[in-house]
Amino acid sequence: MFDALTEKLQQIFDRLASRGKLSEADVDAALREVRLALLEADVNFKVVKEFLARVRERAVGAEVARSLTPAQQVIKIVHEELIKTLGEPARLNLSGQPPHVIMLVGLQGSGKTTTAAKLALQLRKNGQRPLLVAADTYRPAAVTQLEVLGKQLDIPVHSEGTRVPPPVICANALRRAREAAYSVVILDTAGRMQINDEMMAELEEVKAKTHPREILLVADAMTGQDAVRVAEGFHQRVGLTGLILTKVDGDARGGAAISMRAVTGVPIKYLGVGEKMDALEPFHPDRLASRILGMGDILSLIEKAEGAMDQRQALLAAQRLQKGQFDLDDFLKQLREIRKLGPLSQLLEMVPGLSRLGKEVSPEVTDKQFKMIEAIISSMTLEERRHPEILNASRKRRIARGSGTDVQAVNSLLIQFRQMQRMMKELGRGRGRGLLSMFR
């Protein structure tokens, strides 16, 4: 989402880093460019003005002047002020007596129904018993969609068709939740093409009947400045407690994420990062700020790996690596685990120092390379995978035919694997203990 902004900011900071000392004029020139980059990224102009005023006050002061690396100090200040603008991390308030009601609001097309199911899945993973409520009676497909998603995830859905008024449906669902001991009730309320009094009055009635613990605005990150206006409108009428930004994996310019928190004072609680049901991430301001500035996000990468990868297999691989026994069969298994994490370009962007490389790597190209490697190793016998030194010319020709490649591709893979094996042995001798500890 922030690719264009990240690239421009990195270019600005590169120019700063090329200077030894920074004058006030240097800082002002850089901040003018930062201002333009933020405005082009759809960040609200008031937010930009306040953000840069805070940065400048610190950047032309003593903490930069006395620093041995002034450019790095300016980047550090921008990073800290960006975190401040994005706000403190906030989690759902599920205190008090259950069932806790979470009311999702937003315009039509923002992804409310899908987000309701994603949120229910995440809460169930955290030990809650969620009940989904199909309260969007104006779009018949929304009721069916929620019922289908609920069935897929094995999460119960309370629906009463499209003729019962939404406030009544929500009140009945809350009664059912109390009787059946559901701990969380998620209300998928109706969206409209635009904010209007009829819509708001209905939401106010739902709020009065269910007393929600959380009222979360589901906003499409791709709507830019409009998202800020929508957030203000909902906040004034129903009192938002948080925001969920959807479609942040798209080509949005990212300004909504920076602006909405600052303009409304309401925290962003989740980011929708894909179409899969588990593609809903808790919002971490510090991690997002690091990614915007091209500093990577190693914590999110570790969490992604922990959620997707087989921990037992990773431990066995680490033990074999330490003993210098890591073979092509192990490599194939680890490659398949890595592919579960998503496109390689996205993973590289999370690693500090490799974010630029991530943008240069095409997901289509890396996926093709992964499939080719997988096809070559899969065309080998188990003995050949464990003892690649037995691969003679005839065996390589057979493997090339079986994988739809050529002998050159097979040789190239074997050379790269031998180089990797040597590196693995170095790790196993103790130089990589810190890395291996991640698998324990």
Q: What is the pLDDT of residues 275-287, one digit of tens each?
A: 888 888 888 887 7
Question: Is the distance from CB of 101 to CB of 107 less than 8 angstroms?
Answer: no
Residue 352 belongs to what H/E stretch?
none
Top pLDDT among 17 and 418 is at 418
Hey, what are 427's tokens?
């790790």
**Strand pairing report for 157-158 and 184-189:** unpaired
Reported as a single tens digit per residue, the pLDDT across 310-345 is 556 666 666 666 566 678 887 777 777 766 666 655
If residue 261 lies in a helix (H) or strand (E), which one and from where to where? helix 255-264
Residue 418, pLDDT score? 81
The 3-state DSSP class for residue 362 equals coil
Q: How far is CA 249 from CA 1, 85, 218, 302, in A?
A: 6, 21, 15, 19
Residue 172 confidence (pLDDT) above 60: yes
Structural domain spans, the chain: 3-86, 100-284, 301-439
Whole-model pTM: value is: 0.65
Give the integer Cα–Cα distance in Å for 216 and 301: 26
Nearest to 256 by CA among 280, 230, 295, 286: 230
Q: How many CB atoms lie within 10 A of CB 170?
A: 25
Percent of the chain with pLDDT over 90: 30
Which superfamily is assigned to 301-439 in CATH? Signal recognition particle, SRP54 subunit, M-domain (1.10.260.30)
Question: Residue 398, Cβ neighbours under 10 Å: how many?
Answer: 16
Question: Between residues 360 and 222, which one has the greater pLDDT?
Answer: 222
What is the Cα–Cα distance from 46 to 274, expressed in whole angstroms? 30
**130-135 vs 184-189, strand pairing mode:** parallel
Q: What average pLDDT score do residues 99-117 get? A: 91
Neighbours of 179 (CB within 10 A): 8
Mean pLDDT of 176-198: 89
pLDDT at 261: 81
Would you say the C-alpha torsion 281, 287, 290, 294 has a positive or negative sign? Answer: negative
Give me 401's structure tokens: 């035919």
Instruction: Look at domain 100-284 and name its CATH class.
Output: alpha beta
Long-range contacts of 124-127 (CB under 8 A, 24+ apart): 124/153, 124/155
> Quick check: 77 pLDDT over 90?
no
Residue 327: C-alpha distances to residues 71, 319, 338, 412 (Å): 45, 12, 16, 16
Q: So what's the pLDDT on residue 116? A: 95
Q: What confidence category does residue 309 fall into, taking pLDDT thresholds of 50, 70 and 90?
A: low
Per-residue pLDDT at 435: 36
Contacts of 321 (CB under 8 A, 6+ apart): 330, 424, 427, 428, 436
Longest alpha-carbon distance in the chain = 77
266 alpha-carbon distance from chain centroid? 20
pLDDT at 432 over 50: no
Q: pLDDT-based confidence at 84, cuts 50/70/90?
A: confident
**pLDDT bucket at 419, cuts 50 / 70 / 90:** confident
pLDDT at position 439 is: 34
Q: Provide the 8-state DSSP code for 99.
A: P
Averaged pLDDT for residues 256-263: 77
CA distance 239 to 216: 9
CATH topology of domain 3-86: Four Helix Bundle (Hemerythrin (Met), subunit A) (1.20.120)
The residue-averaged pLDDT of 80-90 equals: 83
Residue 297 has pLDDT above 80, yes or no: no
Query: In which band, very low, low, confident or very high, does the pLDDT at 140 lie, cut at 50, 70 and 90?
Result: confident
pLDDT for 303 equals: 54
Taking each helix axis as running N to C, give the angle between helix 112-125 and helix 140-153, from 0 to 180 degrees, rounded to the nearest 10.
20
pLDDT at residue 94 tops 80: yes
Segment 81-107 mean pLDDT: 88
| pLDDT score, position 346 | 58
Q: How far apart are alpha carbons 318 and 134 in whole angstroms?
A: 47
Stronger pLDDT, 104 or 285, i.e. the higher one: 104
Does the pLDDT of residue 136 top 70, yes or no? yes
Q: Can you give the pLDDT at residue 134?
A: 94
Do 83 and 267 form a contact (C-beta atoms < 8 A)? no
Provide Rg for the chain, Cα atoms.
26
Higher pLDDT, 11 or 214: 214
Instruction: Give the pLDDT confidence score for residue 40 in this predicted structure.
Output: 81
Average predicted confidence (pLDDT) for the chain:
79
Q: Which residue has the higher pLDDT, 104 or 416?
A: 104
The phi, psi pair for 133, rounded to 5°, reads -125, 120
Confidence band, pLDDT 50/70/90 cuts, at residue 43 = confident
Alpha carbon distance 401, 393 (integer Å)? 12
Q: How far apart are CA 369 and CA 363, in angstroms?
A: 10
